């Protein structure tokens, strides 16, 4: 474990408290950003949600005070416009680089493997681009995930070259990444449950169950009622008041040494796989249980106004999820030459020249309107 400064120790303790706070995503993200600022001071930055499938930013969770004008400009003119395709945030994550620091010159960056630095050096316009876009103190990027799925992205900026981001900042984020990912995942689950909890229960609805310290049930949403019934049906012959998966999650949470971390149990139901997550509800021993169906993430639909054929749309729906030409060909049972022909037609119709420009246009038309309103 790296040696932590006093500010980092205090921030670590605060993040642990937040993980078990039961907050919804917006407030939790603001508090997390404030705690991270205590450990890693910065001048600008924010915490955003990630679409686990496309790895594009899909939601502004929290923005550092005074940063919105710069962030607004970044999304309009900087995001996904990196001249080095391998340094685009989706490509960075698919390459297994969840945390890095960009400096200028780029050779001083932290977390970039030599092979990527060589690839960058072959792009003529990269020096001018990074001189214009990377602040003197650097840009710190970090992604947070859970169960192998990236769900949130942190970007911090320092303007002064006198105190650039360093390895200690990355090491602290690595230390806290699991706790932050779990905290945000639980908050997203609570939010989904809150949205669906007062309406009709359905196969995609999340449920919430509150259990008092004495084991008695205090509250359940309609969706929780549905999932509890399905869990009991899958446990034929059981006379338990609560299904075994729920009891196991609650027991694991109460027995855990770290009460700030939720306990997760996965269970099968007739409606599919269910994630049962138990977390501390309050200081009186109450446990909050979120029952969330595990469904694959579905990216937004391609804009209806794009003049594409059905075959071209099938190709693009997979392309925005990160598939290569060879992978597209295998998935669609086509030749690589056919995929290249489809893409050439798509690029011409949409007025773009490559995948990066296509991804930029997809973000601007499918994600940006919602992202911008979330400010």
**What superfamily in CATH does domain 6-191 come from?**
GAF domain (3.30.450.40)
Provide φ and ψ at 363, rounded to 5°. Answer: -60, -50
CB contact at 8 A, 159 and 147:
no
From the options 3.30.1490, 3.40.50, 3.30.450, 3.10.20, give the CATH code of 198-293. 3.30.450
Per-residue pLDDT, 289: 87
CATH class name, domain 310-373: mainly alpha
Residue 72, CA distances (Å) to 75, 83, 128, 370 in order: 5, 20, 22, 13
Residue 314, CA distances (Å) to 103, 156, 332 in order: 39, 36, 8
Q: Please, where in the chain does CATH 3.30.450.40 lie?
A: 6-191
Alpha-carbon distance 231 to 282, whole Å? 26
| pLDDT tens digits, 318-338 | 999 899 999 999 999 999 999
Per-residue pLDDT, 221: 81
Per-residue pLDDT, 332: 95
CB contact at 8 A, 137 and 157:
yes
The ranges of the chain with pLDDT < 50 are 375
Provide φ and ψ at 134, rounded to 5°. Answer: -95, 125
Per-residue pLDDT, 313: 95
| pLDDT tens digits, 33-69 | 999 999 999 999 999 999 999 999 999 999 988 888 8
Q: Roughly what angle, to the nearest 10 degrees, separates helices 222-234 and 244-255?
A: 110
């Amino acid at each position: 474990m790296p040696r932590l400064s006093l500010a980092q120790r205090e921030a670590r303790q605060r993040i642990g408290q937040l993980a078990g706070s039961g907050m919804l995503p917006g407030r939790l993200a603001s508090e997390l950003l404030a705690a991270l600022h205590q450990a890693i001071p910065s001048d600008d930055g924010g915490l955003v949600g990630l679409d686990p499938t496309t790895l594009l930013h899909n939601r502004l969770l929290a923005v550092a005070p005074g940063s919105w004008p710069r962030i607004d400009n970044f999304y309009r003119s900087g995001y996904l416009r990196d001249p080095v395709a391998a340094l685009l945030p989706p490509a960075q994550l698919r390459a297994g680089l969840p945390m890095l620091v960009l400096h200028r010159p780029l050779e001083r960056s932290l977390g970039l493997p030599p092979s990527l630095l060589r690839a960058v050096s072959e792009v003529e316009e990269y020096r001018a681009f990074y001189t214009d876009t990377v602040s003197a103190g650097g840009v710190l990027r970090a992604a947070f995930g859970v169960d192998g799925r990236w769900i949130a992205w942190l970007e911090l900026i320092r303007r002064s070259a006198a105190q650039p981001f360093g390895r200690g900042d990355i090491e602290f984020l690595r230390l806290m990444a699991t706790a932050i990912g779990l905290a945000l995942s639980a908050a997203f689950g609570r939010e989904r449950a809150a949205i669906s909890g007062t309406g009709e229960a359905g196969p995609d609805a999340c449920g919430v169950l509150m259990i008092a310290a004495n084991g008695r049930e205090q509250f359940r949403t309609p969706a929780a009622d549905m999932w509890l019934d399905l869990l009991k049906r899958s446990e034929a012959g059981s006379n338990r008041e609560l299904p075994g998966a729920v009891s196991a999650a609650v027991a694991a949470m109460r027995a855990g040494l770290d009460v700030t971390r939720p306990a997760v149990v996965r269970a099968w139901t007739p409606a599919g796989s269910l994630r049962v997550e138990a977390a501390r509800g309050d200081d009186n021993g109450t446990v909050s249980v979120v029952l969330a169906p595990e469904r694959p993430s579905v990216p937004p639909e391609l804009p209806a106004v794009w003049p594409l054929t059905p075959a071209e749309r099938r190709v693009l729906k997979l392309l925005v999820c990160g598939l290569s030409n060879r992978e597209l060909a295998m998935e669609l049972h086509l030749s690589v030459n056919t995929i290249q022909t489809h893409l050439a037609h798509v690029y011409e119709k949409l007025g773009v020249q490559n995948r990066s420009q296509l991804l930029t246009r997809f973000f601007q038309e499918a994600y940006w309107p919602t992202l911008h309103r979330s400010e």
